[in-house]
Structure 1
Amino acid sequence: MKCALVTGGSRGIGNAICEKLSQDSSYHILINYYSNKEEAENTLEKVIANGATGEILKFDVANFDEVKSVLTQWQEANPEAIVEAIINNAGITKDGLFMWMSLEDWSSVINTSLNGFFNVTNFFMQKMLRNKYGRIVNIVSLSGVKGTAGQTNYSAAKGALIGATKALAQEVAKRNITVNAVAPGFIRTNMTSNLDEKELIKMIPVNRFGEAEEVADLVSFLVSKKSSYITGEVININGGIYS
């Protein structure tokens, strides 16, 4: 059984990625969630409706011990399963001016995006290297590429993840493992629902927010065998706002 693991797979971009991979690939979809079981179950229903298989894995990507425990139990229960694709999508925002930022708001954002990448990817890395095949896609952000005022913590987390993407890509390329980052701009999801869309689209050359499905299409390509000569890249998907 060949699998793709999507962290933060219950909502927004993660949900769209799970759905798209269930259409485009033959992977068994592992849908990770942390707090919203109902939405994770809805995502699984969509995956199954597309004729694919999947299951839900509950863990907090920022918690190393929890990640290790849940994934070890899953691996022991599924000894034949091979995770070929990892999409590190889980992330949180706690926006605010740096001068007022609490340590908790700084640490929780860094821990989810950056340490979450380490905790999940590191668990599978040796297995991928032995298998001599893998696809790792890290969902970063426009904020990680250009920096966004009021998001110093989020920009730092995603900027660091971009650096990690480029370094790891060079380490594992000889084993047919690609590591790429996708940097969405303004995408219409729960995370952006409180933004002033009318005002913001004035800055976006294509004059609209993106859809989660458009990000999922790009991720699906990067997870496929068609993308085998693309690695260490940061691909912007932002309607021309910054490229």
Structure 2
Amino acid sequence: MTKGKQMAAAASGPLRDFEAVKKTTAGDYASEAVHLALQGMPFVGPASSAILRIAIQAPSQKRTERFLEHVHDDLSAVESKLSCLPDELYQSAIYASALISTTHIALLTNEHEKIDALRAAMLSIALRSGDDEAFNQMRIGALRDMTSIHIKALRFFVGRSPREVEALGKNNRAITPDDFKLPIAKLFRHDLPFYIIERACRELESSGLIHVPQGHTKRLSGDNFETMMATSFGMVLNDFTTLPAELI
């Protein structure tokens, strides 16, 4: 095989050896990117860069290995539902792109809920081979900047009953902030300042994941979270990032 063909084969998808996949992803990509960034800092010399690289590489290696082990175990758990063998799946260019994207995001977080959402995303892509790469990357991109607070808040809006929301403001009943604050606050720890939850909800709205449906009542001022529900894309993203109960 010529050198050009060898390079093309290597770039066609993740390595088939699972242990090699873990080592390549963590060792070659993540830590090398950090190393180059550190070298570019004017106040970090070669010795300091080497120390910082070791300090960052250790947790990044562990996070990468842990995430890829989750992905591998999840595939094994649903192997009977896959349209191809897991070994063949790793050779798919679409699956490879998603794996690279989600692994990079997993390197940047230690939040259990977000890791589970990334696992669910990879499982969804494996089970729905008909989805194209652009759609996969749109959903992964929407998840990239979300935290566990955003994920929980989105699930709150997805789970709201349309009948319950439509009833707000009817029969001369005034809509109040407590119509939103009291039920959503139950999902979070009691000492979390509520303005953080509100900020997360504003970001969900600006991302097109929640909205006030047409025909629903709005207050004259404020954010109108009381009558908001998930958009169609918000519901798709929630489904994309929710693990099956048997894998939680």
TM-score range, shorter chain: under 0.3
Report the structure, 1 or 2, having the larger helix content.
2
Normalized against structure 2, the TM-score is what? 0.22
Report the structure, 1 or 2, having the larger strand content.
1
Which protein is bigger by CA-based radius of gyration?
2
